[in-house]
Amino acid sequence: MEFTNEMKLELKAISENESFARMVIAAFTASLNPTLEELGDVKTAVSEAVTNAIIHGYEGNRQGVIRMHGYIKGKILHIVIEDDGVGIPDIARAMTPLYTSKPELERSGMGFSFMEAFMDELTVESEAGAGTKVMMKKIIGLENKYE
Protein backbone atom coordinates (compact mmCIF):
# COMPACT_ATOMS: atom_id res chain seq x y z
CA MET A 1 0.00 0.00 0.00
CA GLU A 2 1.24 3.44 -0.84
CA PHE A 3 1.37 6.20 1.76
CA THR A 4 -1.56 8.62 1.83
CA ASN A 5 0.78 11.24 3.24
CA GLU A 6 4.33 11.44 4.56
CA MET A 7 6.60 13.89 6.37
CA LYS A 8 10.17 13.95 7.62
CA LEU A 9 11.69 16.34 10.12
CA GLU A 10 15.12 16.75 11.68
CA LEU A 11 15.41 18.51 15.03
CA LYS A 12 18.36 19.55 17.12
CA ALA A 13 18.34 17.52 20.35
CA ILE A 14 17.36 20.36 22.68
CA SER A 15 14.41 20.46 25.07
CA GLU A 16 12.88 23.46 23.29
CA ASN A 17 12.18 21.22 20.27
CA GLU A 18 10.03 18.73 22.20
CA SER A 19 7.01 21.04 22.01
CA PHE A 20 7.76 21.75 18.34
CA ALA A 21 7.69 18.01 17.58
CA ARG A 22 4.29 17.78 19.35
CA MET A 23 2.90 20.61 17.22
CA VAL A 24 4.22 19.12 13.99
CA ILE A 25 2.76 15.67 14.65
CA ALA A 26 -0.58 17.24 15.66
CA ALA A 27 -0.74 19.18 12.39
CA PHE A 28 0.27 16.12 10.38
CA THR A 29 -2.32 13.91 12.13
CA ALA A 30 -5.13 16.44 11.59
CA SER A 31 -5.78 15.14 8.06
CA LEU A 32 -7.10 11.91 9.63
CA ASN A 33 -9.73 13.86 11.61
CA PRO A 34 -8.70 12.41 14.99
CA THR A 35 -10.68 12.81 18.19
CA LEU A 36 -9.16 15.07 20.83
CA GLU A 37 -8.25 11.95 22.80
CA GLU A 38 -6.48 10.35 19.82
CA LEU A 39 -4.62 13.57 19.12
CA GLY A 40 -3.57 13.86 22.77
CA ASP A 41 -2.35 10.26 22.75
CA VAL A 42 -0.19 10.85 19.66
CA LYS A 43 1.24 14.11 21.00
CA THR A 44 2.09 12.51 24.35
CA ALA A 45 3.80 9.51 22.74
CA VAL A 46 5.88 11.74 20.45
CA SER A 47 6.77 13.99 23.37
CA GLU A 48 8.02 11.01 25.37
CA ALA A 49 10.06 9.62 22.47
CA VAL A 50 11.69 12.97 21.69
CA THR A 51 12.39 13.65 25.38
CA ASN A 52 13.98 10.20 25.72
CA ALA A 53 16.25 10.93 22.75
CA ILE A 54 17.32 14.27 24.23
CA ILE A 55 17.88 13.11 27.82
CA HIS A 56 18.94 9.49 27.41
CA GLY A 57 20.08 9.19 23.79
CA TYR A 58 22.26 12.26 23.65
CA GLU A 59 22.71 12.76 27.38
CA GLY A 60 22.45 16.52 27.06
CA ASN A 61 24.72 16.81 24.02
CA ARG A 62 23.00 19.72 22.27
CA GLN A 63 24.67 18.84 18.95
CA GLY A 64 22.65 15.64 18.49
CA VAL A 65 19.94 15.31 15.84
CA ILE A 66 16.54 13.67 16.23
CA ARG A 67 14.74 12.47 13.13
CA MET A 68 10.95 12.20 13.03
CA HIS A 69 9.28 10.38 10.16
CA GLY A 70 5.52 10.23 9.95
CA TYR A 71 3.44 8.50 7.34
CA ILE A 72 -0.16 7.54 6.89
CA LYS A 73 -1.46 4.29 5.38
CA GLY A 74 -5.23 4.35 5.25
CA LYS A 75 -6.32 5.30 8.78
CA ILE A 76 -3.09 4.17 10.43
CA LEU A 77 -0.59 6.78 11.55
CA HIS A 78 3.01 5.54 11.66
CA ILE A 79 5.63 7.52 13.56
CA VAL A 80 9.36 6.83 13.76
CA ILE A 81 11.59 8.78 16.15
CA GLU A 82 15.27 8.06 15.66
CA ASP A 83 18.55 9.26 17.15
CA ASP A 84 22.24 8.44 16.76
CA GLY A 85 22.93 8.64 20.48
CA VAL A 86 24.37 6.23 23.02
CA GLY A 87 21.77 3.52 22.41
CA ILE A 88 20.07 1.24 24.89
CA PRO A 89 22.09 -1.78 26.04
CA ASP A 90 19.04 -3.59 27.53
CA ILE A 91 15.75 -2.64 25.82
CA ALA A 92 13.61 -4.97 27.97
CA ARG A 93 14.95 -3.37 31.15
CA ALA A 94 14.56 0.15 29.74
CA MET A 95 10.91 -0.58 28.92
CA THR A 96 10.14 -1.78 32.48
CA PRO A 97 7.76 0.68 34.17
CA LEU A 98 9.52 2.99 36.66
CA TYR A 99 13.01 2.07 35.43
CA THR A 100 15.19 5.07 34.64
CA SER A 101 18.86 5.30 33.82
CA LYS A 102 18.85 8.89 35.08
CA PRO A 103 17.38 8.85 38.62
CA GLU A 104 19.52 11.87 39.51
CA LEU A 105 17.43 13.90 37.04
CA GLU A 106 14.24 12.82 38.82
CA ARG A 107 12.95 10.98 35.74
CA SER A 108 9.81 8.90 36.31
CA GLY A 109 10.79 5.92 34.18
CA MET A 110 7.38 5.93 32.49
CA GLY A 111 8.30 7.12 28.98
CA PHE A 112 8.02 3.76 27.22
CA SER A 113 4.99 2.83 29.34
CA PHE A 114 3.19 5.99 28.19
CA MET A 115 4.11 5.28 24.56
CA GLU A 116 2.75 1.73 24.88
CA ALA A 117 -0.43 2.91 26.60
CA PHE A 118 -1.24 5.71 24.17
CA MET A 119 -0.32 4.04 20.88
CA ASP A 120 -1.65 0.85 19.32
CA GLU A 121 1.80 -0.57 18.63
CA LEU A 122 5.32 0.21 19.86
CA THR A 123 8.60 -1.29 18.68
CA VAL A 124 12.03 -0.22 19.87
CA GLU A 125 15.31 -1.05 18.15
CA SER A 126 18.58 -0.01 19.72
CA GLU A 127 22.18 -0.97 20.14
CA ALA A 128 24.69 0.41 22.60
CA GLY A 129 26.71 3.11 20.84
CA ALA A 130 24.53 3.06 17.72
CA GLY A 131 21.39 5.04 18.59
CA THR A 132 17.73 4.18 19.02
CA LYS A 133 14.72 3.87 16.74
CA VAL A 134 11.21 4.05 18.22
CA MET A 135 8.41 2.96 15.88
CA MET A 136 4.79 3.60 16.81
CA LYS A 137 1.41 3.07 15.17
CA LYS A 138 -1.96 4.59 16.00
CA ILE A 139 -5.22 3.62 14.35
CA ILE A 140 -7.32 6.76 14.00
CA GLY A 141 -11.07 6.20 14.20
CA LEU A 142 -12.82 3.59 16.35
CA GLU A 143 -14.45 1.86 13.41
CA ASN A 144 -10.98 0.71 12.30
CA LYS A 145 -9.91 -0.75 15.66
CA TYR A 146 -11.78 -4.02 15.17
CA GLU A 147 -11.04 -4.80 11.53
The answer to whether 110 and 52 have CB atoms below 8 angstroms apart is no
> Cβ of 43: how many Cβ atoms within 10 Å?
19
Q: Residue 48 catalytic?
A: yes
Catalytic position from the list 107, 116, 144, 147: 107
Asked if 4 and 100 count as a contact pair (C-beta separation under 8 A), the reply is: no
- Under a CB-based contact definition with an 8 Å cutoff, are residues 23 and 108 in contact? no
Selected catalytic residue, list 52, 93, 116, 147:
52
Does residue 107 carry a catalytic annotation? Answer: yes
| Three-state SS annotation for 70-86 | EEEECCEEEEEEEECCC
| Active-site hit among 18, 38, 48, 82 | 48
- Quick check: is 52 catalytic? yes
Residues with a known catalytic role: 48, 52, 107
